[in-house]
Amino acid sequence: MHWPHARIRRARNVEIQERVAAVRRDNPESEAWLGLLEAALGESEDSSIWEAAVPTTAAERPVKAPLLSHTQVTVDGRAARGWVRRLLKLTHSVNPQRIDGLALLEAAVCHDDARIDALAATGGVERHTLRVLGQMAALPLLQACARGLASELPATWWEGYCPLCGAWPVVAEYTGLERKRQLRCGRCGTGWAIPLLRCVFCDETDHDKLGYLTPEAGEPARKIEVCHGCKGYLKGFTTVRALAPWAILLDDLTTVPLDVAALERGYHRPERPGYVLEVRIDGRGGWWKWWRMVEGVAKQPPPTATNLQNLHQPPGIGA
């Protein structure tokens, strides 16, 4: 792919590079989406900005609320806006000057499509295009949060939505010899276990209402979980070990025919996220923190002859 903007970072991970090249070769129709994902993965590797923005979880939140619920993310506003601007430039139909980068980032983290659509209307952008751009923009921050808050994830999580960011999973993994079922979030990469015979979206447990669709080619490692009650579906992959967060998104892209098969049979994915987050993004990180530190030093009283004498006086003398 030709990169017209040199400041876009490409992933340095050789495995990612090889996998992206393979997807690009085998799925040329997905080039536009793949270019955005490649940029987001490259930004995720240069994670110092985003690691510094990982928030402290709220002391009190509902039992079923994800970790990011009601948090305030303080990010380097200049760097965050720069990243969003670079990403938007990859889509020629979008004028980055007309989109508030931090507002888009916050709306995307909250998975608030109504707010993204309002930004699209103001900026003269097709709303579905900006929704995709928003989720790609949020990827580096969400994956940094997954790494930084991994130790705080609950030991057990019974909900179908992500325990970190509230999104529905994009895939169910069946790993190891025991084929244990683990759901995986496509936004932050978090994984969590859930019982085998249970619908992710409506909690249906009647096995007569749960089933599978399998590819006509009979590929055993790929299938579609379906619920006849809520008509929801989820792709299922059999893997030797858990997929890396970046691999989840690439596998999701390369298995679009499974999505098409499910949609043609009347199954669908929920339009709304599993849990609506209330996250606030404050762009006063970086320079603001530095300025407050300088401001604090400036407010300290100037040294006096007595203070300096006490500072250099050995302990126990002059008491």
Per-10-residue mean pLDDT, the chain, length 319: 52 87 91 92 89 93 93 96 95 93 97 96 95 97 97 94 97 86 96 92 95 78 94 94 92 92 95 92 69 46 50 40
pLDDT at 294: 44
pLDDT at 226: 97
Strand pairing category for 233-239 and 171-175: parallel
Report the candidate in 219, 168, 226 with the shortest Cα–Cα distance to residue 197. 226
pLDDT at 215: 77
Report the candidate in 94, 141, 166 with the shortest Cα–Cα distance to residue 281. 141
Residues 6+ apart with CB under 8 A from 233: 213, 224, 225, 226, 227, 262, 267, 268, 269
pLDDT at 302: 55
DSSP3 helix / strand / coil % (the chain, rounded to 5):
45, 15, 45
pLDDT at 295: 45
For 312, counting Cβ atoms within 10 Å of its Cβ (0-12 exposed, 13-18 middle, 19+ buried), the class is: exposed
Residues 6+ apart with CB under 8 A from 119: 99, 100, 103, 104, 107, 125, 130
pLDDT at 310: 44
Q: What is the pTM of this model?
A: 0.85
Strand pairing category for 180-184 and 222-227: unpaired
